Each structure stands twice: as structure tokens, then as C-alpha cells.
Structure 1
Amino acid sequence: MTIYDQALGLAILLLAGYLGGRVAKKINMPMVAGYVIAGLLLGPSILNVIPEQLNTEFNLIKVLGLGIIALVIGGELEIEKIKSLGKDIFVITVVKVLATFVIVFFAMRYLLNLSLPISLLLGATSTASAPGSPMAIIREYRAKGPFTTTLLGVVATTDAVCIFLFVFVSAFARMIMDGLVTFSPGMFLEAGVELLGSFGVGIITALLLAVLFKYITDKQHRIAILVGIALLNSGVANMLHFSPVLTNMTAGFVFTNVSHRPQSITVLNEIEFPIYVVFFALAGASLHLDILLNNWWAALVYIVARGIGKVGGAFMGARLSGAPEKVQKYLGFSMFSKAGLTIGLVLIIQGRFPEIALIITAIELAAVTVSEALLGPLGTKYALISSGETQHAQAKI
């Protein structure tokens, strides 16, 4: 495949994704849903204009898109904004993650009669979130306020809790399959190293960014440096087996609060739109309708159980923390998206659990298809509009 084939494929994705977003907006859907559906139509599941091989050639764009999204989310979390919401964010995240894990585990184990290790692993992967879709919809509807800040905080912390839970659960599942019954401190050590390593790399690059921005004031130069930092964080984190998403979120958060210049990261707004369009169109082109159709019953049970866990867990956590009524009622509906971290966890499962990876991969990819194309964007739009924090003139349910 030549570089001109790649250029043509990228052009088709960008233009078709943009048109898909415009059509979605016309029928009162979030534009991000249009990007994803356009990619799905172009992908191997339907028209095959963007075949699997070409999709793989664009992995760098996926890394860049997710890195920028994570960096921007971290940059939105100013301590002055979230200090009154810190307890709410922590309690909601922990309760939501645990509720989702428990409900999905029991649904897989007792409704679908799957094995204990498979049920445990699906329960753990179900807790993952995807920051891209909520961030894009917040941008589209210009949402701002305590609900939006809480949403961003919960999205940012969910992946950290999910990673810790997954490392522990996957070690336990491996012990069950190997016939072992003893716990090892290594379970906690592995999770701790990944989280602390991600935080550490993010802090270092944030401090580097703060120093650079003292001397560099040109907006275009700052954009170039921020893009470089997003890629640097992603590359170093992946090389060290840390989380690229957590690393970039940490960098954005620390930089914003150390430099006291949150507007510095917002300069990425000038270039993020085409990156978002291609990123979500590529996500759509990666989805597999055949897997969804072949595993529709298991996927349906999984999606419903996960939805109950997300909505119910967010409600219980918000109630326990004394969060505002709007957060209690609507936050869970903005938590349906799943993509990047989920795919990463599935790849880990394929390496560590080859004997049971096939069914887990099928269910997860089917759930990702539905969540990214429909449930995630529509749920987030509903939550933001219901919270009353959207600024978009055409924002309506």
C-alpha cells in the first residue's frame, strides 16, 4: 500500500466523517455519532473502502487523537474548580466501578453461565471508560459548570481505578485457571507500578512544559510543543508499560495547576477538530458488525448489565457523597462510551488468557460497536442537556 493510498484513505475518512457529523447534527444527534457511523460505513463491515490493513496504517493518528483528548481533559481539571467536588468525584468513581463490576460479573456468570474466570475478566473490562466521546460532545455543546467538571473528573479517575481493578482481577483469574488459591502481594505491586509510573511520567513532562512555556509565548509554537508532549507521553508510557491515557491526563492536570495558565492547553482547540473527525471515523472503521450479529445475545446482556451498573453506580455514589440532584440523576448516562482502554485490556487478555480470549474479545468488540456508535454519544448528550449546562443554541434532547 503506497503513501498515496494512505493519503486518499485519510481524505475520504476526513470528508466522509465531516459530512456524517453534519448529517447527525441535522437530525439532532451528536456530531461524534456521525463521525463514527461514517467510519463504520466505510470500514470492512460494510463498504470496505477503508480495509483493515489501511486502518492499521493510521494507528499514529489514533495515538495522537487519544493523547490530545487526554491532555485536554487533564487541563480542564483546575484545582480551583474541582476542590469542592473532589469528594464527589472520588466516591462516585469508586462506587460506579465496583457496581458495574459486580453487576456485569453476576450477569455473565448466572445469566449466560460463563466460567468464573471469563465472568471476572468481563466484569473488570466493563468498568473502563472512553474519554474521547464525552470530551467531543462537551466541546460541541459548549457545556460548562459543576456537572461538566464532575463528569470530566469521573472520566479521568475511572481509568485509574479500572486499571488497578483489572490487574488484581486478572491475576486472580489466572490463579483460578492454574488451580492456585494463594494471593500474592505482586498483584497490588503491578497495579501500583503502572499507576505511579503513569503519574510520574506525566508530572515530569508537565514540569518540562511549564518551563518551556515561560519562554515560548507564540501560540503556534505552543501548539507544536503540546502535540509533541502528547506523543512523547504516549510513546514513553507505552514503552514502559504504563497507561498513555493516564500519563497525558496527569500532564495536563499538573501543568494547568502548576503554571496557573489553563488557557495554554486550550490553544489545541485550533487544531483538534480535524483530528477528532479522523479519530472517531477511524474508531468507526475499526468496528465489527459481523461480531455484533454473531454474538448479539451475549452482547445485549453485557451492554444492559453494564448500563445498569454505570447509571446505578453513579447514582449511588453521587447520593452517598451528597452530590447535587442533577449529578445523581444524569451522570451515569454519560458513562456508556468504551473504546481505547477496553481494546488495550482485550489485547492483554489475548496474551495472558489465550484459552478464553475468543469469547471475551467477541463480547467486548460487540459492546464497543454499540457503545461508540450510539449509546455513548446519545447518553452523554442527554446527560449534558438535562443538566442545563449546555451553551449551544440548538442543544435539545
Structure 2
Amino acid sequence: MTLLIYLGSFLVVGLAARQIGGYLTRFNLPLISGYLVAGILIGPFVLNIIPHEGIDSLRFISDVSLAYIAFAAGSELYLNEIRGRLKSIAWYSATLFIAPYVLGIIATLLLINSIPFPEELQTQGRIAVALLSASILVALSPSSTIAIVNELRARGSFTKTVLGVTVVLDVGVIILFAFSSSIADVFLSDTMLDLGFVLLLIFEFALALGIGYLVGRLLQLILSMRLSSYVKMALILLVGYGVFWGSAEIRELTHHDLPFEIFIEPLLVCMIGSFWLNNWSDYRDEFVHLLEEMGPAIYVLFFTLVGGSLSLDILATVWPIALILVLVRAVGLFIGSYAGGIITRDPPQHRRYTWLAYITQAGIGLGLAQEIAVEFPELGTGLPTVLISAIVISQLLGPPFLKFAIRRVGEAHTPADHHPDTQRDAVIAGIDGQAVALAQRLEAHDWQVRLLDVDESHVKYCREERGFDAWHVSAITKEALSEVLNDATDALIAMFDDDKLNWEICQVAYEDFGIRRLIVRLNDFNRELQQQFTSIGATIVYPATTMVNLLDQLARAPQSAQLLLQSQPDEEIVQITVTDEDVDGKPLRDLRLPSEVLVLSITRNGQYIVPRGYTVLRLGDEITLIGDPECLRNVTARLGY
């Protein structure tokens, strides 16, 4: 009963933690900082909603989360994606593996007297702590790195290497931690390193490899079943928890019944199972999708629990040690990345900035720090607290440094600033019958339209025979398009017969002119190309499916479809931008709009708002209206353009 009360309280706090994390992102803080803060607040050192015994009884949440983190790590390493730069990735991984690890061991040994432990450590115990600490300093954060790369739309050799190394080390650090924890277990139990230990270590790793393969097969079986996605997610987490439970049971049984203890690192087993499934089965896409679906909820619960388990009394005294470890790790990253750059003969500019790309730590590092507290309770909470503090500092510093490095090497492709004016204008790329008809419709609604094409004969026909403002461009480059596109252009409609040209012009319009409203007529369905268009926010119109959707809408909701087809001349749909300062800050009900006009939606900073009478308008809001055409023109003149 007590467990249910703690669990219920924790789940409620988890919902609050999500809100706190979202609020802190406004101050450019990572989501996990909010989760940790929520955990600290409900923990035994602040509000004591969940006391020490409650935190201990919720350890199964930690086991499930750690299994998920290991599954995610294994799923990120897809061999086909790194083969192109395998040599560079291998060298960088090796140097970034060795340098921080060696410096981490030395630094921990020098600082160990400042870390509180339940009892004084002997030499073997100090070495064990140094090995565990240093292995966590090697950890990186693929999820944070991928998020920054996507945000900056980064591409190039530097970015590919950084992504590859981050993923490889995420897997490598689990193997390193398994190795370090096995040695630490021997040292802390006052046994000697001898041939028997080496053979036992080899046996444990072989056993982990075999069980990991079986876990991969079991995951494949689950994914092959005709079950709902929620059931599959529950079964995947159950398998992960079963690995942790089985590892603890084997360790306990062998400790009492055998002259030696067998410890199979559950993180390693889960990672191997996921790695096998990801590379040698047909269920990679579904597995990755399910992990992505589970991720937000798992991270909220796990990081909130980590925050609750932090010892604030120890944190108050050891934060300088955490800061020193962060600095030592940064030095190790610089040495390792510079050495890797020299070996691979990367450009000097890459060598100068590469180390900044690897500062971020997050999920796997926190997971391993938490695992130390579980596997080695005799070490107390001092070491995990120091390591978690160091990881949080790295998580705060890492993303800005990664952005800086990508920009300095010239591989960021963020959109240019957009400066719209009061004249609605569009550029149609690719001239054919549909393009000309579209131009006529837009001009009928007072839009200024320019057409362009790479085929000069198309341009000549459009200009001389149809009387449109048409331009010939010799190439799809910023320089060639600068006479047609500018940073005030409202929309680009790409209608080339060649989808490659459509992608090129959308990319230039987005990156060099800041045009956000991109519409593309896709000629051939291509998933990869579709993802590229989606990455820049382009709206894709695929003629075959669009016609089916329109017919479906006509059958089920004929009135709405007729509005889109403009077959009802007494009603029209328009979208306007609020530019009148007198309207800024006013609720909709105070605008006294004509009864013939209805507000359908409001878009603000890319977010849709359901309009209500008390909804306050802001400058720059995009408002969608429906109503009488003449009334709509009057409302547009009042509010903006």
C-alpha cells in the first residue's frame, strides 16, 4: 500500500516536472534541468513529499529507465550510416576515449579525499572509484547533439564525424563502464586480480553477449506480433526490467552459492540486444519509432527520480569538485579531438573547434551515475552526487558550444531573417499550365506574382503570350535568384517537373532569403526527399493523393471542400497578418468584427491558437478568416494586410 502511495505521488510530480522543464526552456535551460529541480523539490531535503525510503522503493523506475537508455544507445549505432567516414570516426572515437578516461582517473585519484564516503577507502577502493568516475566522463549525449544538428540544419564532413563519434562513444561507454564496474567489484571486495579474475571477466562478457543476442531475438518477436503500439512499448520495457532483475538475481545467487560472484552488466545486455535488432533485423524503423514515442515520459520520470535522490547536503560541499572534473574533461576532449584531427588530417579549423562539439552530457551519463549508486551502495551517495553535478554543468554548457563550433566551421544552414512588407507577393518556380492558372488566381486576390524557370522558352511564352512578370534563371543559386526573390517575399511555390530542382530552390529560398511559406508540387513520391522538404517546413502537394483527399472531403464535408474550391462566390477564406498597433493587446470581442466574418484560427510564432472572445491579439499574428469577400477586404484594411 505504501508503495502505491509513493508511486501515485511520484506520477503526479512527474506531470508537474514536465511543466517546470517546459518553463525553464524559456531561459535556454535544458528540459532535464526542470525535471531535476522537480525531483529535488519533492525529495527528502526540501518538501519531503517522498522520503528516503520512498525513493528507494521506486528504484524499479530507475531500472526500467536505464534499460530504455541502453536500448536507445544501441539503436543509435546503425553501421550503414557511418561506413562513409568510418576511418575518421574510429580514430576520433579512440582518442576521445583514451584522453578523458586517463585524465579522469588521475583527477579522481587527486580529488578523492574531498569526496565523502561512508568509510575510508584503501588503495584498491580508490582505484575502483577512479575507474568508475573516469568511465562516466567519457560519456556524451547523442540526443542533444542530434537536436542541435537538426536545429541548425547542419551538414558537412564535420557534422557527420561529430554525429558518428557521439553515437559510437555512447555504445563504447557502456562497454567501458561494464569493464570498469567488474574491476571495481573485485577491488571493493578485497579480492586479487589474477588469472582466475581475467577468465571470469571474459566469461561474464561472453555471457552478456549471448544474453544480449537472445534479448534482441525476443524484441524482434515482440515487434513481429500484431499488437497495438502501446502493448509493444510495455513489453519492450518489461524485457528491459527483466534483464535488470535477472542480473541482480544471478549476482545474489552466485555470491552465496559459489566461490565467485557472476555479474552480468544489464546495461550492456540491453545495448547488445538493441544493437543487433537495429542492424540485423527488419524492424529497425518500428523499434526506433517506439523508442521515440516512449522517450519523453521515460526521461521525465527518470530525471525526476534522479533529482529526488540527490543529496543536497553533500552537493553543497562537493560542487567545486564537480566543476574541476568538468574542466579536466574539457582538457581531455581537447587533447583527444586534436590528436584525432592530426591523425585523420582534418582541416586546421576543424581541429580547433572539434572538442567543443563533445562537451554535452545527458541521459547515458546520468544513467551510469545512478547505476553506481545501485550497484555499489557501499560507496554512499557522494560519488554519484559529484558525477551528476558535473553532468548537469556539462549539459548546460555543451549545446551553446556545439552551436558555436558548427557555425565556425561553416556547416550551419539556418534560415535568413524574413522582413515581410504590406504587399502580398509570391514567386512560382517552374512554368506550365497549372503555374499560369495559379498566377491568375493569386493576382485576382491582389497578390503580386512573379514566375521563373530554367527553360528560356517557357519564360518567353509566359511573358509575351500571357503577359506575366516572368524571369529566366540560369542556375538555382542565391546570386541567380536575387533579382526575383528577396527577404520580403511571402511565398514560394515550387512546380518544376524535376523534384531535385524543387528541393534546390526551396533550400535557397529558406536559407538565403528567409522565406517560410514554401509549397512544393512533388512529382514522384520519395520518402527521403519528403523528409528534406519537411525539415524546412515546406508544405508538400502530391497530385495523386491530393485529388483523393479532395474527393473524400467533398463526400464527407462538401461545404468545407466547396470553400476551398471557391465554388461559393458569397464566401471566401483569407489569412491576414496583424500589423495595426492599435489592435495589439486587444481581445477579439473588442474588435467588433462584422457578423458576416468568422475567425477560424490564429497562428502565433508557429503555434496554433483556438480563437475565443477573450483571445488577445498580438502584432505579427496570422489570422484565418471566413466570410463575405467585401467584408473581408474591410477587415483586412483594419487589422493589417
**Paired amino acid for 2:301:** V
State the distance in 1 between where 2:19 and 2:361 align. 26
Per the alignment, do residues 350 and 279 of structure 1 end up closer, same or farther by CA in structure 2, a change over 3 Å counting?
closer
Contact 1:85-1:150 at 8 Å conserved across structures: no
The aligned residue for residue 18 of structure 2 is 18
The aligned residue for residue 244 of structure 2 is 234
Alignment root-mean-square deviation, CA: 3.8
1:332-388 Cα offsets, whole Å, 9 max, x none, are 31247733333434565555xxxxx46xx52x2332341343323542564367445
Per the alignment, do residues 248 and 111 of structure 1 end up closer, same or farther by CA in structure 2, a change over 3 Å counting?
closer
The aligned residue for residue 258 of structure 1 is 280
Secondary structure of the corresponding residue to residue 339 of structure 1: helix
Per the alignment, do residues 131 and 231 of structure 1 end up closer, same or farther by CA in structure 2, a change over 3 Å counting?
farther
Return the structure number with greater helix share.
1
State the distance in 2 between where 1:63 and 1:110 align. 32
1:255 offset after TM fit, Å? 0.8
The aligned residue for residue 303 of structure 2 is 280
Secondary structure of the corresponding residue to residue 128 of structure 1: helix
The aligned residue for residue 199 of structure 1 is 209
What is the TM-score normalised by the length of structure 1?
Answer: 0.79
Per the alignment, do residues 321 and 159 of structure 1 end up closer, same or farther by CA in structure 2, a change over 3 Å counting?
farther
1:332 equivalent in alignment to 2:358: yes
1:27 offset after TM fit, Å? 0.6
Per the alignment, do residues 341 and 190 of structure 1 end up closer, same or farther by CA in structure 2, a change over 3 Å counting?
farther
The aligned residue for residue 2 of structure 1 is 2
Secondary structure of the corresponding residue to residue 275 of structure 1: helix
The aligned residue for residue 122 of structure 1 is 129
1:128-172 Cα offsets, whole Å, 9 max, x none, are 33999935535765749633343122111112023324534665x
**Paired amino acid for 1:368:** L
Secondary structure of the corresponding residue to residue 126 of structure 1: helix
State the distance in 2 between where 1:274 and 1:228 align. 15
The aligned residue for residue 186 of structure 1 is 196
Contact 1:128-1:162 at 8 Å conserved across structures: yes
Per the alignment, do residues 5 and 336 of structure 1 end up closer, same or farther by CA in structure 2, a change over 3 Å counting?
closer
- Alignment length (residue pairs): 381
State the distance in 1 between where 2:140 and 2:100 align. 20
**Paired amino acid for 1:45:** F
1:83 offset after TM fit, Å? 2.9
Per the alignment, do residues 332 and 109 of structure 1 end up closer, same or farther by CA in structure 2, a change over 3 Å counting?
same
State the distance in 2 between where 1:350 and 1:218 align. 39
The aligned residue for residue 387 of structure 2 is 368
Counterparts of residues 1-397 of structure 1 (less than 5 Å): 2-3=2-3, 5-109=5-109, 116-117=123-124, 119-129=126-136, 134=141, 137=144, 143=150, 146=160, 147-168=162-183, 171=186, 184-216=194-226, 218-240=228-250, 241-265=263-287, 266-317=289-340, 319-320=342-343, 325=350, 328-335=354-361, 338-345=365-372, 351=378, 357=379, 362=382, 364-376=383-395, 378-379=397-398, 382-383=401-402, 386-387=405-406, 388=412
Contact 2:104-2:137 at 8 Å conserved across structures: no
State the distance in 2 between where 1:301 and 1:374 align. 11
1:33-86 Cα offsets, whole Å, 9 max, x none, are 221122123222333233222212221211112212221221222221133455
Contact 2:372-2:384 at 8 Å conserved across structures: no
State the distance in 1 between where 2:107 and 2:137 align. 22
Is the deviation greater in 247-256 or in 294-303? 294-303
State the distance in 1 between where 2:360 and 2:413 align. 14
**Paired amino acid for 2:67:** G
What is the TM-score normalised by the length of structure 2?
Answer: 0.52
Identity of matched residues, %: 20
Per the alignment, do residues 257 and 92 of structure 1 end up closer, same or farther by CA in structure 2, a change over 3 Å counting?
same
1:18 offset after TM fit, Å? 0.7
Secondary structure of the corresponding residue to residue 310 of structure 2: coil
Is the deviation greater in 46-55 or in 272-281? 46-55
Secondary structure of the corresponding residue to residue 129 of structure 1: helix
Per the alignment, do residues 185 and 138 of structure 1 end up closer, same or farther by CA in structure 2, a change over 3 Å counting?
same
Contact 2:36-2:308 at 8 Å conserved across structures: yes
Contact 2:333-2:355 at 8 Å conserved across structures: no
Contact 1:78-1:262 at 8 Å conserved across structures: no
Secondary structure of the corresponding residue to residue 54 of structure 1: helix
